[in-house]
Amino acid sequence: MIANGGFISYGGKNHNVKINMRDYNLTIIMYAILVGGVDVVLGVQWLETLRNIMMNFKKNFMRFKLDGI
């Protein structure tokens, strides 16, 4: 289900996909969906692994700590 309550189809599911963002490494399950303008959407399943986050929607950034760092 997507944010507006609708549903979209996906073209496949890939397990153990490795993503590197600077010094941060992540292994996740990814679903192939058609979304314009982005390469990857990290959703709630990823966000919940971060525990506490600070989000600034006006400046479009997020802060979080990794493993107590």
* In the chain, where the domains are located: 13-64
- What predicted TM-score, i.e. pTM, was given to this entire model? 0.55
What separation in angstroms does the CA of 40 have from each of 4, 18, 36, 67, 68? 19, 12, 10, 23, 26
pLDDT of 68 over the 60 cut: no
Please give the pLDDT value at position 58.
Answer: 95
Residues 53, 47: contact at Cβ < 8 Å?
yes
